[in-house]
Structure 1
Amino acid sequence: MSKTNQVIDAILERRSIRKFTAEPVSRDDLSIILEAGRWAPSGLNNQPYRFLVLYDDDARVDPLAECTKYGHIVKEAKALICIFLDREATYNEMKDHQGAGACIQNMMLAAHSLGLGSVWLGEIINQQDQVLEVLDVSSDRYELQVVIALGHPDGQGSSKRNELSEYMLEDF
């Protein structure tokens, strides 16, 4: 595809990055990424997502790494964004999860546009209770959606996709 549309190009070029350099992620870049997440669509515009940012020197990083089989990525990341749904702001489980997915995608595209690498660590939700305890976040109020690991890429990611026709229920 030609370089004519920055949004489409970002979608097609973004890859999951699991290795990062030692260079820190700036607070300004994190603010831009969080703003991109904040502007994701949500059902009834309820905006039920909440964020917790950890830098690599936060004492909670090592215990958080113990909550996932991808702990090595958690430890190597220069910043982590933990995304939750606020049960007090939700109204429809499916729509709120869809909104969280849009929020996550916005953040990862924003990170890519800033030259940062990111990866969606979803397996960690299998240990939600342990994660919430490590982060000292209320399990009554918040539901963990994902942890995004961020940093300056140390290498390129790769991916492939099936042909579009394999996804289509009918020709268009």
Structure 2
Amino acid sequence: MNISNPILQALNQRRSIRKFTDEPVSREDLTAILEAGRWAPSGLNNQPWRFLAVHDSDPRAEALAGCTKYGHIIRAARELICIFLEKDKIYNAMKDHQAVGGCIQNMMLAAHSLGIGTVWIGEIVNHGEEVLEVLGLDNDKYELQAVIAAGHPDQQGSSTRKELSELMLEEY
């Protein structure tokens, strides 16, 4: 992989971060991260995602921590970005769920480029109705997709990947 290319470098170096310092995420950085999500591709350009940023000082942050077995990560984060699908904007469920995945990836890569660590909390969707309730959102209008926990990293991330040859169905 050509790691001199900044986008390929970010893809190669971004890691999930689960421990954060006490340093707050600036409003400017949070806005840049949310803007990156806004610019993700979507079928028919329907942009079905909706965001809710919850700061660590917001009492709803502790309520969110109670909605997942990863509450310790939620409590450690300085910012939580909750991502939803707006149900009446869905035109094709599969495409729209895929688009949200791209939106989340955009935000995590943007955060990485700004020196902000993130982790994608997916398990919390098992408690989506409870999350909507603690956030005061309408279950008939929104579907929880994920929560991104974010903050300045207090750990080095690590990961391994299978060789490309293990993932290919045919030789290319």
| Structure 1 residue runs without a partner (length 5+) | none
| Structure 2 residue runs without a partner (length 5+) | none
1:103 maps to 103
CA deviations 1:57-96 (Å, max 9, x no partner) are 0010111100000000001100000000001211000000
Q: Secondary structure at the match of 1:51?
A: strand
Question: d(CA) in 1 for partners of 2:95 and 2:108?
Answer: 20
User: What amino acid does structure 2 have at the position aligned with 1:12?
Assistant: N
2:134 maps to 134
User: How many angstroms does 1:3 deviate by?
Assistant: 3.8
Question: d(CA) in 2 for partners of 1:99 and 1:143?
Answer: 14
1:80 maps to 80
* Total equivalences in the alignment: 172
Question: d(CA) in 1 for partners of 2:154 and 2:36?
Answer: 24
The answer to whether residue 166 in structure 2 is matched with residue 166 in structure 1 is yes
TM-score, length of structure 2 as denominator length: 0.98
1:56 maps to 56
1:39 maps to 39
1:10 maps to 10
TM-score, length of structure 1 as denominator length: 0.98
User: What amino acid does structure 1 have at the position aligned with 2:111?
Assistant: A
- Aligned-residue CA RMSD (Å): 0.7
User: How many angstroms does 1:125 deviate by?
Assistant: 0.2
Contact 2:2 2:8 survives alignment (8 Å):
no
